[in-house]
């Protein structure tokens, strides 16, 4: 590996160093990207291991590069193709254990390095203020308790730093009053500069002062009280708040594939203005071939949207970040202690809410109706099913395993399934079967995805729960906890803020449900604590 030197780079190389490859659209795109890598004219590449053949891509990337190019993927829940994942960032936060957070960061780094990555998207330091679109389970806690978020996220970051990868905190500034999906809508916040300094900046300053902060990802949020023209990703004023607080590391944009910003600004303006504003690395629109993104940024430079001085400053920061992971430090294997930590996270991340006069252990001999709330699918005339509600819960891939676990654990039980958007027959079946049972237990899930427009429960699901409210003895809920605020009262609620529904291993959906069943059998008591308050009925 040969580190880059700014003074030896051509303009073509410098412009390329400011861009991250977002994948390979076709063979022509792949050929051009590899040619640019051989010229040392690509700063980073995103290899999303859940979408493409990441092993082949990383192998070929390394064959075409002789410099420490950044190889990046989001790993907010760990390396999710590996053995060691957490149910979600919020679940990790629920444990309240900084050592567990540190070990999560360390193990994620170990698995990332083993698979060829050297840059990790995470931890997320967005502060919550109620039910926010996309923001719940990937975050660590509430604006009302920033100290908790600071401690837990910096512990994760330190685990990453100590083990030779570039941890990327995100998303600056992401104010807590954002309620819409920024992939589709312009994010608009009423926060002032004082609000950013006193609220959203807190976790970043804590990380800078206590563990070292090498990289930050920004948002496309509009803050008209600070900049009435440009969003964060294009605003010198908003970026300046973070820089003036002492951050001198690599600053990268969030994805410019988000339609909320592309609807207002053209691609060339987005790319050029983001560099002018103080960014060092751009995540271009993944729908474009890389050559198009490169040409747009080159045009922006030649038209004077950003200066040569700003170009050189940005490239210098990219090189510094690349060099920081040139010879990864830290462990190369996951220790037995760390394996035990993930088993502990899986249990300690389950939290509970119950009536004072109720035990969690339920009578094994009572006749129980388990209602499994499944995803919905439509096919739209093709063979591949599309999910139309909450990706990640009970689905066709895991429903048989879950049913077997229920019948093995609670032998005097029956099972009904209903969709997030239930049909009349499913609703009737649940109500009819509840008449025959002593206890009704709902298994629910809520998670929001980009362009999914939220993760709230559907009215039909809530009405069905209301129809059998007198029989509900427990709700086992995984994912965003806030939808529980609209359901009828339950004497027992178990919450695991899981997100990666199809993940395997100790942090996977089915394993989490097994732990919840163990609690209802009295085998152990839930220890987790939500880092915010729910307003339950």
The per-residue pLDDT for 508 is: 66
Place of tokens 């009819």: 432
- The full 3-state SS of 211-258, as one line of letters, equals CCCCEEEECCCECCCCCCCCCHHHCHHHHHHHHHCCCCCEEEEEECCC
The per-residue pLDDT for 201 is: 97
The answer, yes or no, to whether residue 112 has pLDDT greater than 70, is yes
- Residue 377 confidence class, pLDDT cut points 50, 70, 90: low
Q: What is the pTM of this model?
A: 0.91
The answer, yes or no, to whether residue 530 has pLDDT greater than 70, is yes
Burial class (CB in 10 A: 0-12, 13-18, 19+), 158: buried
C-alpha–C-alpha distance, residues 479 and 482, integer Å: 9
The answer, yes or no, to whether residue 509 has pLDDT greater than 90, is no
Provide CB contacts within 8 A for 264, sequence distance 6+.
186
Average pLDDT over residues 132-148: 83
Strand partners, 446: 479
The per-residue pLDDT for 391 is: 55
Strand partners, 415: 370
Average pLDDT over residues 388-413: 82
Average pLDDT over residues 382-394: 57
Work out the end-to-end distance of the chain between its first and last CA atoms, rounded to an integer number of angstroms: 60
**pLDDT, tens only, 142-151:** 888 999 999 9
C-alpha–C-alpha distance, residues 419 and 412, integer Å: 24
Fill in the DSSP letter of residue 199.
I
Task: Assess contact for 391 and 447: CB atoms under 8 A.
Answer: yes
Place of tokens 């097994």: 514
The answer, yes or no, to whether residue 450 has pLDDT greater than 80, is no
The per-residue pLDDT for 193 is: 97
The residue ranking higher by pLDDT, 507 or 418, is 418
What is the layout of strands, in order, in the sheet containing 368-374? 350-354, 492-496, 472-479, 439-446, 368-374, 413-419
Task: Assess contact for 462 and 430: CB atoms under 8 A.
Answer: no
Domains of the chain: 6-324 (3.20.20.300), 349-520 (3.40.50.1700)
The two three-digit tokens of residue 513, written as one number: 């449900």
C-alpha–C-alpha distance, residues 220 and 189, integer Å: 11
Average pLDDT over residues 433-441: 96
C-alpha–C-alpha distance, residues 470 and 407, integer Å: 23
The answer, yes or no, to whether residue 45 has pLDDT greater than 70, is yes
Residue 321 backbone phi and psi in degrees, to 5: -65, -40
The two three-digit tokens of residue 34, written as one number: 């590899």
Side-chain-side CA neighbours of 261 within 13 Å: the count stands at 29
C-alpha–C-alpha distance, residues 57 and 410, integer Å: 46
Residue 51's CB: how many other CB atoms inside 10 A? 9
The answer, yes or no, to whether residue 52 has pLDDT greater than 60, is no
Strand partners, 281: 252
How high does pLDDT run on average in the chain? 89
């Amino acid at each position: 590996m040969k580190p880059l030197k700014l003074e030896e780079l051509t303009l073509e190389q410098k412009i390329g160093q400011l861009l991250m490859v977002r994948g390979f659209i076709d063979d022509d795109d792949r050929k051009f990207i590899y040619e640019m890598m051989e010229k040392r004219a690509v700063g980073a590449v995103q290899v999303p291991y859940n979408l493409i053949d990441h092993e082949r891509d990383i192998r070929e990337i390394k064959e075409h590069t002789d410099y420490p190019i950044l190889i990046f993927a989001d790993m907010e829940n760990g390396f999710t193709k590996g053995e060691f994942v957490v149910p979600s960032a919020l679940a990790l936060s629920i444990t309240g254990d900084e050592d567990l957070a540190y070990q999560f960061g360390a193990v994620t780094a170990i698995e990332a390095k083993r698979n060829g990555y050297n840059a990790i998207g995470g931890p997320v330091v967005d502060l919550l203020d109620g039910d926010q679109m996309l923001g719940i389970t990937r975050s660590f806690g509430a604006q009302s308790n920033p100290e908790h978020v600071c401690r837990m996220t910096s512990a994760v970051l330190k685990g990453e730093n100590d083990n030779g990868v570039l941890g990327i905190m995100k998303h600056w500034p992401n104010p807590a009053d954002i309620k819409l999906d920024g992939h589709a809508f312009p994010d608009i916040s009423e926060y002032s500069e004082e609000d950013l300094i006193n609220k959203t900046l807190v976790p970043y300053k804590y990380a800078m002062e206590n563990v070292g902060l090498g990289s930050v990802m920004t948002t496309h949020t509009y803050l008209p009280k600070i900049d009435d023209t440009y969003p964060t990703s294009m605003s010198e004023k908003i970026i300046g708040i973070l820089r003036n607080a002492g951050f001198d590391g690599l600053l990268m944009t969030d994805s410019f594939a988000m339609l909320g910003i592309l609807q207002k600004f053209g691609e060339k303006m987005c790319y050029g203005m983001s560099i002018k504003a103080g960014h060092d690395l751009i995540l271009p629109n993944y729908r474009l071939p890389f050559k198009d993104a490169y040409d747009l940024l080159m045009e922006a430079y030649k038209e004077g949207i950003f200066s040569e001085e700003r170009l050189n400053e940005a490239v210098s920061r990219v090189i510094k970040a690349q060099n920081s992971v040139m010879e990864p430090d830290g462990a190369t294997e996951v220790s037995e202690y760390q394996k035990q930590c993930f088993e502990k996270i899986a249990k300690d991340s389950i939290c509970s809410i119950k009536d004072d006069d109720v035990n969690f252990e339920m009578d094994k001999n009572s006749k129980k109706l388990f209602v499994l709330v499944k995803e919905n699918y439509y096919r739209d005339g093709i063979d591949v099913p599309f999910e139309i509600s909450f990706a990640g819960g009970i689905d066709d891939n895991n429903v048989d395993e879950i049913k077997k676990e229920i019948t093995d654990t609670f032998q005097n039980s029956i099972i009904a399934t209903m969709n997030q958007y239930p049909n009349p027959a499913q609703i009737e079946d649940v109500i009819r079967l509840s008449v025959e049972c002593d206890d009704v237990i709902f298994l629910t899930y809520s998670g929001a995805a980009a362009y999914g427009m939220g993760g709230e429960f559907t009215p039909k699901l809530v009405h069905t729960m209301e129809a059998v409210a007198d029989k509900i003895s427990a709700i086992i809920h995984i994912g965003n906890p806030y939808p529980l605020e609209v359901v009828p009262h339950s004497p027992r609620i178990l919450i695991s803020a899981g997100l990666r529904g199809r993940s395997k291993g100790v942090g996977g959906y089915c394993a989490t449900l097994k732990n919840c069943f163990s609690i209802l059998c009295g085998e152990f008591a839930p220890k987790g604590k939500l880092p915010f308050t729910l307003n339950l009925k």
